[in-house]
Every structure is written in C-alpha cells, then in structure tokens.
C-alpha cells in the first residue's frame, strides 16, 4: 500500500517508522514484557460491536463537550508522552499548536523535551501538565508553580509508575547502553535516517528534559537525564500524598493510571476531580487487563462524583464512541499523536485530529445519536 495519502492513525505509524531511528520508533511503539496488555487495549476495543440505528433525525450532530471544565470540540485530549520532542522537531510545541487548532487539550509530560515556557509561548490556550511524583518534593513544588504560571489549570498526576516497566524492545535496541558496542548499535540505527538527523537531532536542539534542566546540572545527554529520573521515581507514594499535592495545586486534579474499581473509589475519596482509566498504554504491568474492559465497573463506582476519562488503544472515532458508550466522559490518545507528528509533522497531526472528529460524528450519525452526552451502553450491540 502506498502512503502518499495517509488516512488512519496506523498509516501515520508506518510513516513514523520510515522516518525515525529504530530505537525511537520502538520506544513509542513498544510496551512492557510480552506486550500483552498493549495488544489487549486495542483488541478489546475492536471486539466491541456498535448498534446501527436508522430513521433517526441526525441533521445536527454535535461532538462538543467539556473536559475538566474546558470546552472541547470533541471528547479527546492528547495524553502526556515523554520525549515527544525526540520524535519531531520541538515536538511538544508543535503538538500544542495542532491541539489548539482542533479545539482539544494538550498535556505536557514532566519528561517532555520542550519546557513549560516554550509550550506556553506556542499555545493560545491553557494546556494540561502531567506530573510524576519524584523524590525531591521541593522540585515538585517548583514545577507546580511553573506550570501554574504557564497557565496550566489541570494537573494530570500519573500514579501507575512507581518504577518504570521493563520494555524489552528498548533493551534490544541498546537504549541506555554504554560503551563502544552501544555507540555502534545506535550509529547503525541513526545513519539510515538522515531526515531525522537533520530535522530533529540538529535543528531540534536542545534535546534534554526541558522542565528538569536546572535539576540535573551538567547532564549533557538524555542518557544522563534518564539515569537521574529513574533514580527519582518515588516508590513510597500513597493515597495520603494526594492531600499534600492538593495543598500545592489549586487547579483541577486528574489521577491517571487507575485500573481497579477499588482504587477508583479511593480516588473519589481523596477528592480527585477526575481519573484516567489507564494502564499506561501497556507500558507498565504487562498482563494487566485492557483499559476498556475495566471501564464499566469503574464508571459505575465513580458515577457523577468525578470525571472518568480513558486511554489505551484508542485509534479511531469509533473507539472514542465505544469508550463513551461504556461510561467515559472522554479519551486520551498517546501513540497516535506522536506517530502523526513524527511521520508528517504538524499537518499530519491536524489531519488525524480532523479525521477522528469526523469519524466520531459519522459513528454518532449512524448510531442515531446527536449529542455526546446521549451516548450510552445501549449503543453497544450485546447480541
């Protein structure tokens, strides 16, 4: 199949594969362990069947909604993705522009390449900031202050990464390796990718963790940053720490990485404004259930006490519809937005966001529902 007219997220994935050095493509594409949970995220969404309905007045179908109190053109936000600026030149700044144009929220990762100020300068709207709990609490307070000053009003606090999952593709590709062998392995992956070398490695500098440069003085490359970040993940965090976080963040708080109804109950109890049902795109506990399979029970426990978002495996407008039908208020996409940006730049991402919205609208039209608030479990075919 030719790729001159990419149509779907997976088309852009193939474009990204052609442009990126293998270790970067695999860093995005891969997941933990045998990648069972990654596969389940996609397969379980695909297995759901929609009810086709006819002769309903669908003259005016509206995909708009609100997420975390913000008006959105459709129930979708860009998920936090670390190191997106390694995949496309100043990737996070490009992505926020595309998100603005499409009318959806963008989330900047703690370990993004572009710092908060750069994303703020590129953006015409408030964006979301994602936080990992790191051991240095003074640093967290400083990050939260900078995020607030940059206009962020929604904090996505990621709680499913006490330590990073084991991602075998990264090991095979020599990510984090040292010495001559690792250098040669990397060079062999870089040389066939002159476009990336010119466009990102040279013109996209500095390639470091923009929000953490002061904290890792002297770090010259991403390997040094990773070593620091990996030593900083705080394995002692519990529900009690959410209270502490609350005292330093007066905006909306979304807890990302919940996959269990009991944990969802705890999230409501600590006063989260929302949760993201997520297994980190299968990058953490391999063998955990798919996000979509856990959504109905979690949505039931949470009810109207907090907003329920979902990520993991969402690749089309029909997937967005399915997540809403099973109780989500909205979805986040991770890999797709990075594939588009890496494969075709900001135009690719704008194209995909447009496609997702059109697909959602089409799905609503043929399922006979005109407002996102009216999408519910009755739209799933159980027969």
Ligand X SMILES: Cc1cc2nc3c(=O)[nH]c(=O)nc-3n(C[C@H](O)[C@H](O)[C@H](O)COP(=O)(O)O)c2cc1C
Q: Give the residue with the Cβ less far from ligand X, 41 or 316.
A: 41
Is residue 313 at the binding interface for ligand X, with CB under 6 A as the rule? Answer: yes
Residues 185 to 224: which contact ligand X by CB under 6 A?
none
Give the one residue of 92, 118, 311, 319 binding ligand X; rule: CB under 6 A: 311
Residues 95 and 337: beta-carbon distance below 8 Å? yes
CA 241, chain centre distance (Å)? 23
CB of 290 to ligand X, least distance (A): 10
Is residue 79 at the binding interface for ligand X, with CB under 6 A as the rule? Answer: yes
Stretch that binds ligand X, among 79-87, 139-147, 185-193, 298-306 (CB under 6 A): 79-87
Residues tagged active-site:
280
In angstroms, the Cα distances linking 342 to 4, 25, 63, 304 are 15, 9, 27, 38
Beta-bridged to residue 264, according to DSSP, are none
Cα dihedral 246/251/255/256 (nearest 10): -140
Q: At which residue do the structure tokens 């990510």 appear? A: 175
Give the one residue of 28, 114, 245, 342 binding ligand X; rule: CB under 6 A: 28
Is residue 316 at the binding interface for ligand X, with CB under 6 A as the rule? Answer: no
Rg value, the chain, Cα: 20
Beta carbons within 8 Å of 144's beta carbon, 6+ residues apart: 131, 155, 248, 249
Is residue 312 at the binding interface for ligand X, with CB under 6 A as the rule? Answer: yes
Is residue 274 at the binding interface for ligand X, with CB under 6 A as the rule? Answer: no
Is residue 115 at the binding interface for ligand X, with CB under 6 A as the rule? Answer: no
Q: Give the residue with the Cβ less far from ligand X, 279 or 363.
A: 279
**Cα separation, 309 vs 108, whole angstroms:** 17
Q: At which residue do the structure tokens 């929609």 appear? A: 50
Is residue 85 at the binding interface for ligand X, with CB under 6 A as the rule? Answer: no
72: part of which helix (H) or strand (E)?
Answer: strand 70-72
CA 69, chain centre distance (Å)? 19
Is residue 284 at the binding interface for ligand X, with CB under 6 A as the rule? Answer: no
Stretch that binds ligand X, among 48-56, 219-227, 329-337, 344-352 (CB under 6 A): 329-337
**Cα separation, 165 vs 280, whole angstroms:** 10
Q: Give the residue with the Cβ less far from ligand X, 310 or 369.
A: 310
Give the one residue of 80, 174, 210, 343 binding ligand X; rule: CB under 6 A: 80
Q: Give the residue with the Cβ less far from ligand X, 26 or 63.
A: 26
CA 343, chain centre distance (Å)? 17
**Cα separation, 242 vs 256, whole angstroms:** 13
Is residue 335 at the binding interface for ligand X, with CB under 6 A as the rule? Answer: yes
CB of 130 to ligand X, least distance (A): 5
In angstroms, the Cα distances linking 216 to 108, 220, 221, 223, 285 are 19, 9, 11, 12, 28
Q: Which two tokens stand for residue 306?
A: 């907090």
Is residue 41 at the binding interface for ligand X, with CB under 6 A as the rule? Answer: yes
Give the one residue of 123, 158, 208, 211 binding ligand X; rule: CB under 6 A: 158
**Cα separation, 105 vs 82, whole angstroms:** 16
Give the one residue of 19, 280, 294, 329 binding ligand X; rule: CB under 6 A: 280
Stretch that binds ligand X, among 226-234, 292-300, 327-335, 353-361 (CB under 6 A): 327-335
Is residue 334 at the binding interface for ligand X, with CB under 6 A as the rule? Answer: yes
Residues 119 to 138: which contact ligand X by CB under 6 A?
130
Beta-bridged to residue 331, according to DSSP, are 76, 310
Binding residues (CB under 6 A) for ligand X: these are 27-28, 41, 79-82, 109, 111, 130, 158, 256, 278, 280-281, 283, 311-314, 333-335
């Amino acid at each position: 199949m030719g790729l001159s007219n990419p149509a779907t997220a997976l088309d852009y994935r193939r474009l990204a594969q052609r442009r990126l050095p293998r270790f970067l493509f695999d860093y995005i594409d891969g997941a933990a362990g045998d990648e069972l949970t990654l596969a389940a995220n996609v397969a379980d969404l695909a297995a759901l069947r929609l009810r086709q309905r006819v002769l309903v007045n669908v003259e005016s179908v509206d995909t708009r909604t609100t997420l975390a109190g913000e008006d959105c053109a459709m129930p979708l936000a860009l998920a936090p993705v670390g190191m997106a600026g390694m995949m496309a030149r100043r990737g996070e700044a490009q992505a926020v522009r595309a998100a603005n144009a499409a009318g959806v929220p963008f989330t900047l990762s703690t370990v993004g390449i572009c710092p908060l100020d750069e994303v703020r300068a590129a953006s015409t709207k408030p964006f979301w900031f994602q936080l990992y709990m790191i051991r240095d609490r003074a640093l967290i307070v400083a990050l939260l202050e900078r995020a607030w000053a940059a206009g962020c009003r929604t904090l996505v606090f990621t709680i499913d990464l006490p330590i990073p999952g084991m991602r075998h593709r990264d090991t095979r590709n020599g990510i984090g390796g040292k010495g001559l062998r690792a250098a040669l392995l990397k060079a062999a992956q870089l040389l066939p990718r002159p476009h990336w070398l010119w466009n990102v490695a040279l013109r996209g500098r500095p390639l470091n963790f923009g929000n953490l440069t002061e904290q890792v003085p002297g770090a010259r490359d991403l390997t040094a940053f990773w070593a620091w970040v990996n030593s900083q993940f705080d394995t002692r965090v519990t529900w009690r720490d959410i209270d502490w976080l609350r005292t330093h963040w007066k905006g909306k708080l979304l807890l990302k990485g919940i996959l269990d109804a009991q944990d969802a109950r705890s999230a409501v109890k600590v006063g989260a404004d929302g949760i993201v049902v997520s297994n980190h795109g299968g990058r953490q506990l391999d063998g955990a259930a798919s996000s979509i399979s856990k959504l109905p029970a979690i949505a039931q426990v949470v009810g109207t006490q907090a907003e329920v978002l979902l990520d993991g495996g969402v690749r089309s407008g029909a997937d967005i519809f399915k997540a809403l039908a099973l109780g989500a208020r909205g979805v986040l996409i991770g890999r797709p937005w990075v594939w588009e940006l890496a494969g075709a730049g900001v135009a690719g991402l704008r194209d995909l966001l447009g496609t997702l919205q059109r697909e959602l609208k089409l799905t609503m039209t043929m399922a006979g529902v005109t407002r996102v608030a009216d999408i519910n479990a009755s739209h799933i075919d159980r027969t």
